[in-house]
A and B are shown apart, each in its own frame.
Chain A
């Protein structure tokens, strides 16, 4: 017999799963989030373009179009409530000849149909006025002022921490191996035990097809589409102010050039469909392609300022749209599959959409005492000199610098480790504080952070994990 009973079991602690968890935590429901990794945000959510898309790209009438535009509009309030770095920096889709202007017009028209505001086709001169480093070949651009940038880790963590604060349970390092339909719901078997739930929400990213097939007929297939990126040092962060897209193709939105909320410059992604859903390796050809193609839209990119390259997997469904629905055959199974770009942007809207589906299965009664806000880790880098001085007076650990490149103190790292759903790995600390994300990539601060993790977990330095 299953040990624990829940109303809802969410499989996958990426941005979709955590957003859904946070949304459902507003109601009188018992919810558990189960993930195979030791931290939230370990899959597709951690390696992407970190863009809050305006919403002109998706075909009108699709779920992608609807949820993208809705998600974008929710971000201002959400970023304040959950203390997430979010900047509406705007975007430009550039084209390289007069022949392509109709394509920009088409995108604009599509955007208007989708409900995107403020779209405007600019001449080369107008585009250069706001973005001086556009490549010499750029002929014109579509301007989308509502496009933004966000920290995907912060967004996912914020959803998760706030859900946790409102009673959602998380079981990490707990890989789901099977799902069984029972008379009154499901039994989910995982590495750490069995969980019964009336409703299962499948937010399993590239493995959503596998999870679905554990309990229902295979009705969709998820392809992993790998994207490789280069991240440049903060000294290169001012190369562009807006996010610069190229005209989209059937494989996606192409190589973009964008500042990040941390002030770095991000280039990518490539798009290659791959068989192995674990293959997050970068390739020589991929990185070469990122370099060559980014230069088509932006000039003066200081490629020698690269601090890291990485790749992420998009979860692409057969027909290209999000699959978000209750299964026809197995009632109570809700899929959130094919959540590729604009999945990050759509996450808050997907959560509302799924809440409505859940509402048809379970009674939704608003919880009294729901805590809508969450306070992130106080990052010294965001404080004034006076505020820093005051904080160090109260808590001297904030006066001990650990990561010199990103200027992260012991106090911040201790917070990242000690807070609920805290970091247990070096990458976990990195994602929460930005430590080791700078120029030396953890060369100097790793031993100190390893020592702090080892002490907290009561293990030796050797046993401290980088990730996973």
Chain B
């Protein structure tokens, strides 16, 4: 016999906790959070640097402190938390199979499910870097876990490939632990991380950032002995003659994050090729009724504050779904939101304007660095929203707020686009 709960939240990181709290506050108290680790908090637990919570709490917290605020709220509400529990599959009928040391293997039916599994790092193998496969190559987050949680400094002479935020944070972290970070190489002509991290983690420590550079060879059969870095052309192809050898015992990779949607696929959730996360509507609902998604499993965020905010909405909407038994007040009137010029994707990708109650956050990333540009939402020939930006970069997520009344004027679908200004 399968057990039953109203709402199953898969993942106890910042997304899952915020979603569970919001669902609880919206009147659904029969909630369980399933977390594979032995404690709540997710990746925040290994992010011991500060800079979290500026939007949410108007103060600068460390990762564990930020997580702690939410853990306290979860506990206050006595929300059921099943830690050390791994969800193995979710059926399209929202039946979840979960396994844990204490409770064994169980099957649980849920009225609604919130996907909040986060993301993983792109590994070396997926980058096709030629060379040997020695010890000493870590994704930045794995090294972060080993250093911050296990007290194991992975190496002394370090090269970092990729300028994603975790890589930048780890450049500083390893420097503070006594390692020598020789360079951060970035394939693109711009950094993949936040501006503030480049300043605070590289510039402050005189760590060179080599833009338009990549690792072209790895030396060392058993242990890493060094890497060769070369400059790349505009098509990301290494330029012969620019190779330089860096002796090192550690190579950290910070080359992108991938939403972890293997479970979503077991439930038949449609995944977007642009985000690698579920395709969702304005309620953050997926194509499978009663299954919602939020946080980094939906699309990779830069700031945890945005994860919490988004996940709160998913939690509220899942609660409303449960309370209304999946029935909508009005007949749906769905319009598509399309990523236009210079825009890689939008979340959500549809909106049901007959049932919109409050403002919609439209989140997206641009394809390139645009200076002095204008972000526009157009519908047919009408510009329904226009916002000037001093600069828009791929590494910083854009967040447009659309009021419901704007939608009534829309004619057919919406397209979000960048109008490039004069540089």
Q: Which residues of A are in contact with B by a Cβ distance under 8 Å?
A: 230-231, 278, 280-284, 286-287, 306-310, 385, 388-389, 392-393, 396-397, 399-401, 404-405, 407, 409-410, 439-444, 446-447, 450-451, 460-462, 465-468
Contacts and interface: CB of A to CB of B under 8 A. Distances in A.
Contacts of A389: 104-105
B125 A461 contact: no
Contact of B88 (A310, A400, A407, A462): A407
Nearest to A441: B123
Given A399-B100, A404-B86, A460 B120 contact: no
Contacts of B133: 280, 308, 310
B221 interface: yes
B135 A466 contact: yes
Nearest to B141: A443
B84 A443 contact: no
23 contacts: A281-B218, A282-B130, A282-B131, A283-B130, A284-B130, A307-B126, A385-B105, A389-B104, A399-B100, A399-B101, A404-B36, A409-B99, A439-B120, A441-B126, A442-B123, A442-B142, A444-B120, A446-B138, A460-B152, A462-B152, A466-B135, A467-B222, A468-B221
Contact of A399 (B104, B151, B218, B221): B104
Contacts, number: 120
A393 B124 CA distance: 37
A306 B100 contact: no
Given A392-B104, A392-B105, A399-B102, A231 B142 contact: no
B150 interface: yes
The A interface is mostly helix, strand or loop, or mixed, namely mixed
B128 interface: yes
A324 to B, nearest CB: 29
A309 B125 CA distance: 6
A152 B104 CA distance: 32
A320 B53 CA distance: 66
Contact of B216 (A280, A284, A306, A310): A284
B399 to A, nearest CB: 28
B102 A461 contact: no
Given A440-B121, A443-B139, A461 B130 contact: no
B158 to A, nearest CB: 15
B146 interface: yes
Nearest to A407: B88
Contact of B128 (A287, A385, A392, A439): A287
Nearest to B97: A385
Interface in B264-297: none
A462 B147 CA distance: 11
B245 interface: no
B146 A461 contact: yes
B363 interface: no
A468 B142 CA distance: 21
Nearest to A451: B150
B5 interface: no
Interface string B84-126: 1010100000000101111111010000000000001101111
Nearest to B220: A281
B105 A405 contact: no
A400 B99 CA distance: 7
Given A281-B132, A392-B105, A306 B152 contact: no
A153 to B, nearest CB: 16
B134 interface: yes
A465 B121 contact: no
B123 A307 contact: yes
Contacts of B203: none
Given A306-B126, A307-B125, A443-B123, A392 B150 contact: no
Q: What are the 6 closest A-B residue pairs judged by CB atoms, nearest first?
A: A308-B125, A441-B123, A466-B135, A401-B86, A389-B105, A468-B222
